[in-house]
Amino acid sequence: MDNFAYFRPGSLTEAIDMASAEGRDILAGGTTMVDLMKLDVQRPDGLVDITGLPELEGYEIGADRLRFGALARMADVGDDDDLKAACPALTEALWKAASPQLRHAARLGGNVLQRTRCPYFRDTAYVQCNKRDPGSGCAALDGGVTSLHAILGGSEACVAMYPGDWAQALIAFDAEVKTQGPGGTRTIPIADLHLLPGDTPEIETILEKGEIITSIEVPVIGAMRGSHYLKARDRESYAFANVSAAVGLEMEGDTVSDARIGLGGVASVPWRASAAEEVLRDQVFSEDLAREAGRVAFAEATPLEHSAYKIPLGADVVAGALMTAHARAKGEN
């Protein structure tokens, strides 16, 4: 790890000014940033530590809206009984994301911005990585092992997978990200925050230099109570997803009135399976319908040599999550 300057701002305005300078990055929980610095993947000249800024802390579970400060801890939010009742998928996504030690350190604003776990990105011994070194090529596409790579949203320049869990639940329920930066404040739909790799995989979000996430807000809807986050992974605990699904159902009798599906472990960005949602809406729910929705969710997937397994696994994960969500929506689980 290279030497770097450390800054401790006393206010959000001061933090924005400090973080706007070239060569500086923002530090919150540090569970991604410090890791990448140790690997020599990120080499900032300075870190602006925003922990301790009171305007970024706390969270509120309201009747009409959920609000999570950017510095709210994963552990605190994941353990909240009111949130468990309001939207099980949100708490399950946090619980299944990491070990207790990491959940107590990691903050929600940083969580949605975590960077890929692609081994060719994280290991600088591999020279080819367009995300780390634009224009150098992609080792994964050039004969690499691709079992953990994206089958949705990739490009000829990059097939790295977005690694998070919570953002999948956020995108399923139309969350918004509030930010403040040199240009003022703005509200960004979570679906617009992350960018597909295209020809510029090194540009991962629409955030500007010095722009800081201040909070994440989610409107409360009926499909939240009947929700579930299901994660398939290589080991039972604290591993990144091979496939995951955050789903929610609202029922009118036996008919699905609303359906929400977010996919993880399979795409270059948090992925909304809108076509699969349409399969479910206004239909009488059944296991066959859930399985059809699972198939449709992956109908446009483009797997590589080692990632084709994600298509049948993903269809099963979506169907299984929907079965649990249906039981919860009916008050049976």
Structure confidence at residue 308 (pLDDT) = 96
Question: Does residue 182 surpass a pLDDT of 80?
Answer: yes
* Helix-helix angle 287-297:310-329, to 10 degrees: 140
Q: Are 64 and 86 in contact (CB under 8 A)?
A: no
Structure confidence at residue 267 (pLDDT) = 97
Structure confidence at residue 166 (pLDDT) = 94
Q: How confident is the model at residue 331 (pLDDT cuts 50, 70, 90)?
A: confident
Structure confidence at residue 223 (pLDDT) = 97
Query: Can you tell me the mean pLDDT for 206-231?
Result: 97
pLDDT tens, 26-60?
999 888 899 999 999 999 999 999 998 999 999 99
Percent of the chain with pLDDT over 90: 90
Structure confidence at residue 1 (pLDDT) = 73
Q: How confident is the model at residue 99 (pLDDT cuts 50, 70, 90)?
A: confident
Question: Does residue 10 surpass a pLDDT of 90?
Answer: yes
Q: How confident is the model at residue 243 (pLDDT cuts 50, 70, 90)?
A: very high
Question: Does residue 101 surpass a pLDDT of 90?
Answer: no
Least confident interval from 63-67, 80-84, 255-259, 328-332: 328-332
Question: Does residue 94 surpass a pLDDT of 90?
Answer: yes
Question: Does residue 318 surpass a pLDDT of 80?
Answer: yes
What pTM was computed for the model? 0.95
Domains and CATH numbers, the chain: 5-52 (3.30.43.10), 54-113+162-219 (3.30.465.10), 222-328 (3.30.390.50)
Query: Can you tell me the mean pLDDT for 75-97?
Result: 94
Query: Can you tell me the mean pLDDT for 113-135?
Result: 95
Question: Does residue 235 surpass a pLDDT of 80?
Answer: no
